[in-house]
Amino acid sequence: MRMPRLRPSTLSGRYARTAYLFLLPAILFFAFMFYLPIGNVVATSLRTGPQADQWAGFGNYAQALADPAVAHSFLVTLTFAVAEVIGSIVLGLALALALDQPLRGRVVFRVLLLVPYLTSVAIVGLLWRNILDPELGILNRVLMAAGLPGQQWLNTAPLLTIAAVTLWQSVGYTMVLFLAGLQGIPETYYEAAKIDGADAWRRFWRITLPLLAPTTLFVSVMAVISGLQAFGQAYIITNGGPGDATDLLVFHIFNVAFRTRDFGYSSAQSVLLLIVIVAFTVIQLRAGRRGEVTY
């Protein structure tokens, strides 16, 4: 008995239905956990009042764009994000290069560097707040035991301090990403460069860096998104202070929402922050594609 032939369109249609069936749980999860809340925030941003029950239109957006406090928080957040991007790329790549060498115990060091990333922001924040305490902190105690004066770490350079703490927590993850990129570069490239007389520095600039461009792009995109969304560091370590020196934008939005109870205004700021994050991501991805290296 001859089996009936199935047309390609019929097969593709069946495959598509099967694929959508398997994707349905993920689609429902994203719809209810991400897209629905985003839609609710957008709807709330168009209203005002303690209960967000009065129509405001785009008044909250106009107010946010003209608010000096919002502009200051955005500038602080942007500075924080830039520091995170530069630190993540430079320090993460340096650690990856070091731990890609045939060293004894390198697996142990990789694990130790990754442990802070697996720790929650709340625990890391409390840990470093106690370490940096000017009176009881262990860091000042070590300095004074060595005959050096103690420092007001959270008053002298508070934004740099919380950026360093955030980098300490996240650099292990960045190191793993760069390490995976390094191990994906064919060894034959380096062997050919050695035959041509290229030294280690030239091999790094001409082979390693260009072929790590996709990894560097991913690290920079994730660092920008993480930096613009940072909240726990300012909330736990400095509480936005001293003054408003560490008033990160998400922390500012939190204060507007839960301390002044203006949910419409805070929602408008959240939507503007989302637009900024998407814009930065698109710009970075387009810039990365233009300089993409193929091999």
Region 215-231: mean pLDDT is 95
One domain for residues 97 and 221 = yes
Burial of 182 (0-12, 13-18, 19+ CB in 10 A): middle
Domain enclosing residue 27, as ranges: 8-45
Under DSSP, the state recorded for 54 is E
pLDDT at 8 over 80: no
pLDDT at 7 over 70: no
Assigned domain for 218 exists: yes
Q: How many CB atoms lie within 10 A of CB 69?
A: 13
One domain for residues 23 and 145 = no
One domain for residues 21 and 93 = no
pLDDT score at 52: 72
Rg (CA), the chain: 25
User: CATH number for the domain including 208?
Assistant: 1.10.3720.10
One domain for residues 41 and 72 = no
Indicate the number of domains in the chain: 2
Cα angle, residue 275 at apex, residues 270 and 279 outer, rounded to 5°:
145
- Least confident span in 35-39, 53-57, 90-94, 226-230: 53-57
pLDDT score at 6: 46
Burial of 233 (0-12, 13-18, 19+ CB in 10 A): buried
User: Which residue is associated with the tokens 């097969």?
Assistant: 11
pLDDT at 237 over 80: yes
3-state SS assignment for residue 55: strand
One domain for residues 25 and 81 = no
One domain for residues 225 and 194 = yes
Assigned domain for 162 exists: yes
Total residues belonging to the chain: 295
0.85 surpassed by pTM: yes
Mean pLDDT of the chain: 89
One domain for residues 22 and 82 = no
